[in-house]
Amino acid sequence: MGTIQTRNRKDGTKSYQAQLVIKRDGQIMLREQKTFDRKQAAAAWLERRETELNRPGGVARGKGSDPFLGQAIDRYIDESLKAIGRTKAQVLRAIKDCDIATKRCSEIHSSDLVSLARQLSRTRTPQTVGNYMSHLGAIFSIARAAWDYPLDPMTMKDAHIVCKRMGLTGKSRERDRRPTIAELNLIMTHYQDREKRRPSMAPMTKIILFAIFSTRRQEEIVTIRWADLDETHNRVLVRDMKNPGEKIGNNVWCDLTPEAMRVVKSMARTGERIFPFTTDALSASFTRTCQFLGIKDLHFHDLRHDGVSRLFEMGNSIPHVAANSGHRSWQSLKRYTHIRQAGDKYAGWKWLERICNQGSADDDVTCDY
């Protein structure tokens, strides 16, 4: 496979050029050459390269089409015309910090993926590990066809089966946590007091009310624009709504309950967005407040859960609830139907009247809690 040619330099010294050519079916698959000062060094290089290229996937690596998995992840993120959601991008970047990212694509086997799942499971739940493996699987599904990278989709499928059997991955656990009126009274009192003392902070009292009565997710709340509000028909255009098959560009008109519309109308038109804040700020503020008040296991997203369940408890039909929540099917909605009472849980609740009657905020605010 390899030869060494002796060449004379202008200064009278000699150099040794090691040449390596690999042919298959009469076609040159790979050609490499390197120059050395000593013949022994050239021979050692040839021996080492021949050993490397004789290994499985060796020729592909030599041709430069066998990058590290971390490089394949970067290419997937950079070249994907379909915008990648924030969560997926974060997951893929986290995988780049794992040992498997330093392996060549051709060197990755199902056992390596199972080892990755084990590594992730040290600090993550089976549901979260399953999400990580699913996002990584997107690269395995296209790498060979799109870039001729030697990533075998079957290795990921085999790893999925093993991880599931071993309990390393699992389906997301459905939450049925809903806030009680007593808990919400504590939270609203806390925030009302803070807003009085610090008028510049985000109006969390209004944001919490809107989350419940609009059934919107926090990432949707902070992106809703005044231009997307249809006051005539009591609805709002929710852009890039979360959906298993599509998120970016999935814009959906959702009805707003009278209570949600009332909260919106109490907000000042100080910018393009109705609630000009960030999801991280809202989530951190809500989490810290619950911890301070001693409220256990309550997430901001549970407000949406409560709002959707409330609509069912009020006797609304599936299509009516879906028109508010944005769900496309009964299968997606059924997990919210934890019927605990008949009628409106918030009938006579003091906070809607109290907060919305305070009027609109005077200035731009920030969530600095």
* 61 domain residue, yes or no: no
Domain extent at residue 99:
69-165
Judgement on whether residues 225 and 337 belong to the same structural domain of the protein: yes
For the beta carbon of residue 83, count every other beta carbon within 10 angstroms: 12
Region 193-203: what's the mean pLDDT?
92
More confident position, 102 or 292: 292
* 329 domain residue, yes or no: yes
- What is the spatial distance between Cα 35 and Cα 7, in angstroms, rounded to a whole number? 10
Judgement on whether residues 211 and 304 belong to the same structural domain of the protein: yes
* 365 domain residue, yes or no: no
Number of separate domains in the chain: 3
Region 133-154: what's the mean pLDDT?
91
* 362 domain residue, yes or no: no
**If residue 54 lies in a helix (H) or strand (E), which one and from where to where?**
helix 39-54
**Mean residue pLDDT across the chain:** 86
* Residue 274 · residue 225 · CB < 8 Å: yes
Residue 295 has pLDDT above 70, yes or no: yes
pLDDT tens sequence across 89-101: 889 989 998 999 9
Per-residue pLDDT band for 57 (boundaries 50, 70, 90) equals: low
Judgement on whether residues 200 and 242 belong to the same structural domain of the protein: yes
Judgement on whether residues 196 and 331 belong to the same structural domain of the protein: yes
Judgement on whether residues 276 and 312 belong to the same structural domain of the protein: yes
Which residue in the block uniquely carries the two structure tokens 């809500």? 286
Per-residue pLDDT band for 366 (boundaries 50, 70, 90) equals: very low
* 106 domain residue, yes or no: yes
Region 196-217: what's the mean pLDDT?
94
**If residue 31 lies in a helix (H) or strand (E), which one and from where to where?**
strand 27-36
Strands 14-24 and 252-255: unpaired
* 45 domain residue, yes or no: yes
- What are the residue ranges of helices labelled H in 294-349? 301-313, 318-325, 330-333
CATH of the domain at 311: 1.10.443.10
Which of these, 330, 356, 325, 63, lies nearest to 213 by C-alpha position? 325
Per-residue pLDDT band for 79 (boundaries 50, 70, 90) equals: confident
- pLDDT value at position 360? 43
- β-partners of residue 17 are 5, 35
Residue 342 has pLDDT above 70, yes or no: yes
Residue 248 has pLDDT above 60, yes or no: no
0.75 surpassed by pTM: no
Judgement on whether residues 158 and 185 belong to the same structural domain of the protein: no
CA torsion sign for 83, 85, 88, 94 is positive
Least confident of 5-19, 67-81, 82-96, 324-338: 324-338
Judgement on whether residues 204 and 350 belong to the same structural domain of the protein: yes
CA torsion sign for 205, 207, 213, 215 is negative
pLDDT tens sequence across 19-44: 888 877 777 667 777 888 899 998 99
* 59 domain residue, yes or no: no
- pLDDT value at position 369? 37
Judgement on whether residues 189 and 95 belong to the same structural domain of the protein: no
Judgement on whether residues 238 and 293 belong to the same structural domain of the protein: yes
- pLDDT value at position 122? 92
Judgement on whether residues 89 and 224 belong to the same structural domain of the protein: no
* 11 domain residue, yes or no: yes
Residue 368 has pLDDT above 60, yes or no: no
Integer angstrom CA distances of residue 136 from 78, 113, 119 = 15, 10, 15
| Strand, coil or helix: 140 | helix
- What are the residue ranges of helices labelled H in 166-214? 181-197, 204-214
Geometric angle at alpha carbon 45, from 42 and 46, rounded to 5°: 90
Judgement on whether residues 341 and 215 belong to the same structural domain of the protein: yes
For the beta carbon of residue 60, count every other beta carbon within 10 angstroms: 19
Please identify, among 165, 196, 219, the residue that sits at the C-terminal boundary of a domain. Answer: 165
More confident position, 318 or 205: 205
Judgement on whether residues 294 and 254 belong to the same structural domain of the protein: yes
